[in-house]
Amino acid sequence: MTTSAVPRLAPLAVREWDENTRAVFRGHLKSADRYLSAAPDAPAMPGILGILAHHTELAGAWLAYNGLLIERPSIDPRDRELVILRVAWRSDSEYEWSQHVRIARGLGLTEEQVEAVRYGPQAPQWSPVQRSLLTMADQLLDRHRVDDHTWAQLELHFDNRQLIELLFVAGSYLCLAMVLNSVALQPDPDREERS
């Protein structure tokens, strides 16, 4: 993997945010006030939010869209994270991988499962539905479409709304990985890095 040790585009520091940017983040991100409070115990602003702060209108649109996938999913969040982790691993997105390993573990994915994401659908740990999700992610990354066999397997477990959501999760996080890789965003301090 080839990554730059120096970001090409550094996250915009909160002190540089104008009121419009702060308002957009408060309007779309439940935890915005915690990050923006400047209190001594306020959590550090995640780098991705500092990158999005460079383009307030795009940030608002992305946060609204992504909020639907994360906060109001029609699919099990563990299935979503499995797809995101596979996309992050395959796209070499250090930042996305480290963020979503933490999220996946918080949702109950085991260390063994997180490790198995690296090996893909052929790893023995996976249930049939998990294997189908990983296969779907690989096919989207490799061929930009899901083949008939995998689609039929997914239809056994997901309704039409969920199928569309799964496709958008994979595509959205590939788009985000391309942005994060291109700006060379480094994993947030105190977050686990890809090993």
Q: What is the pLDDT of residues 58-78, one digit of tens each?
A: 999 999 999 889 889 999 999
Q: Which runs of consecutive H residues, i.e. helices, occur in the chain?
A: 19-28, 32-36, 47-52, 56-71, 77-90, 94-106, 111-117, 128-143, 148-155, 160-183
d(CA 179, CA 182): 5
d(CA 82, CA 64): 22
CA distances from 180 to 13, 24, 35 (A): 17, 21, 20
pLDDT, position 5: 67
Q: Tell me the average pLDDT of the chain.
A: 92
Q: Side chain identity at 187, as an amino acid letter? A: P
pLDDT, position 76: 98
pLDDT, one tens digit per residue, over 1-30 is 455 668 899 999 888 999 999 999 988 888
pLDDT, position 114: 97
d(CA 127, CA 116): 12
pLDDT, one tens digit per residue, over 32-59 is 888 888 788 888 889 999 999 999 999 9
Grade residue 190 by pLDDT with cuts at 50, 70 and 90: low
How far is Cα of residue 117 from the mean position of the Cα atoms in its chain? 14
Q: What is the mean pLDDT of residues 175-187?
A: 96
Instruction: Give yes or no for residue 169 having a pLDDT over 70.
Output: yes
